[in-house]
Structure 1
Amino acid sequence: MSSIPSNRNLSRRSLLNFLGIGTLATSLGLDLLQKRPAEAATLSADAALKQLMAGNQRYTAGQSISPDRGLERITSLAQSQAPVAVILGCADSRVPPEVIFDQGLGSLFTIRVAGNIVDDANLGSIEYAVESLNVKLVVVLGHERCGAVTAALNALTTGTHLPGHLEALTKAIEPAIVQAQAEQSDNNLLDRAVRANIRSVVRTLSSSQPLLARRVAQKKLKIVGGHYDLDSGAVEMIT
C-alpha cells in the first residue's frame, strides 16, 4: 500500500480517493454533505431531500460516513445554524434521524415525539425552523411497527383507557386508525395505520395557517412523509 500523502491541506475528497472510496462517496451525495452552514440554507427542498436519501442509501449499504461531527464542524456551528431539513419523527430509540440519513451536526432540525404526532409545541418549533432558519423541507418520519400507533390501535379496538398522559398521545393517532380501517388493502391494519398517521400529519402541517400553508402555496416549502423500515433500515417516501 502506498504511503499516505503528507500534504497537511489534503482535501476530504483527496483523502477519500486515496482510501479508494472517493467515487462511491461522490456518487452517494458527498458533495451535498460538504455544504457549510451558510450554504446549506440555500438548498432547495428537492436538493435537501436528495441529500437525505443519499445518506439513507449509504446507511442501508453499510457505508455510512458519519460526516461533519468533528471539532471543525462544532466550531462552525457555534454562532449559527442552517439545517437542510426539519424531521418530525417518532421518539423510538431505533429511528435516530441523523444516523439513518447519515447526516452530521447541524444538518437536521429534529423534533421527536412518540407516534410523530403534531401538537402546538412541535408545530411552533417547525414554524421557527421554516421562518427563522429558512428551512425548505419538512419530513414527517414514521416507522414500521410503531409502538404508539399500536397502543392507539389496541385502545380504540378494545375501548381501553390508558393511564397518565398516554391517552392524550393515542387520541391524536386514532383518526388515522379509523381512516386505515376504512381502506381496502392487503396490507395489515397496523401498517395501514402507521402510513395513514404519517399522511395525516403531512396534511395537518401543509394546511397549518398562517405560516406553513402560505409557504406551501408559494412553493417555498415542501412537506413530505417518510416510512422507515425497521428490518432493512430503508426510508420510503410515501404519498
Structure 2
Amino acid sequence: MEFAVSAPYAVPVLVILGHTSCGAVTGTVKGLKKNPKDPSLPAEMNDFAQEIAPIARKVPVEGTEAEHINAVVRANTVAVAQGLVKRSAIIRKAVDEGTTKVVAAVYNLETGAIDWEVAA
C-alpha cells in the first residue's frame, strides 16, 4: 500500500473493506464467549483472533448474535484503517498532506451493498 500512495501513483483513496459474517470475527466472538481471556482458534486463524479480541471486547453485546458479530466487523474494519495510518509513516504522511484518504467500509455478503458510513 505504501507503494500505491507514493509518486508516481499517489492513489487518492485506500479502502479497507470488511465484510459481514466474517469467519475470523465470528470465531473470535464465539471463542470469547467460551473463554473471555483467550479466544483461541485453530492455529491458522489464531493470529487473527489475537488482533480482533481486544476490539471485540469493547463492542457492547446488543441484538442478535449476527448483529453483534457485524458490529465487531465494523469496529475491526475501522481499527484496521486507523492502525494502517498509525503504523505506516508513508501512508500517514500522504494522509497528513491530503493526497490520500484511508476509508473503512463494510461489504454486506447477503445484499451485495457496501456501507460507506463506517468512520475511520
Tell me which interval the TM-score lies in, with the shorter structure as reference length.
0.7 to 0.9
Give the TM-score of the pair, scaled to structure 1.
0.43
Question: 1:127 is matched with which residue?
Answer: 2
Q: Let me know the Cα RMSD of the aligned residues.
A: 1.9
Question: 1:165 is matched with which residue?
Answer: 44
Q: 1:234 aligns with which of 106, 113, 116?
A: 113
Between 1:171-180 and 1:192-201, the stretch displaced more is 171-180
Local SS of the residue matching 1:212: helix
2:31 is aligned with 1:155: yes
Question: 1:204 is matched with which residue?
Answer: 83
Q: Which amino acid aligns with 2:83?
A: T
Q: Which amino acid aligns with 1:212?
A: I
Q: Which amino acid aligns with 1:196?
A: A
1:157, distance to aligned residue in structure 2 (A):
2.0
**TM-superposition CA deviations, 1:107-160 (whole Å, max 9, x none):** xxxxxxxxxxxxxxxxxxx11222253222110101111111101111222125
C-alpha distance in structure 1 between counterparts of 2:47 and 2:17, whole Å: 20
Aligned residues, how many?
A: 112
2:23 is aligned with 1:144: no
List runs of 5+ in structure 2 lacking aligned partners: none
Structure 1 runs (4+) greater than 4 angstroms displaced: none
Q: Which amino acid aligns with 1:190?
A: I
Q: Counterparts in 2 of 1:105-124, with a 5 A limit? A: none
C-alpha distance in structure 2 between counterparts of 1:161 and 1:141, whole Å: 24
> Which structure features the higher share of strand residues?
2
1:207, distance to aligned residue in structure 2 (A):
2.2
Q: 2:94 aligns with which of 215, 226, 233?
A: 215
List runs of 5+ in structure 1 lacking aligned partners: 1-125
Q: Counterparts in 2 of 1:4-43, with a 5 A limit? A: none
Question: 1:190 is matched with which residue?
Answer: 69
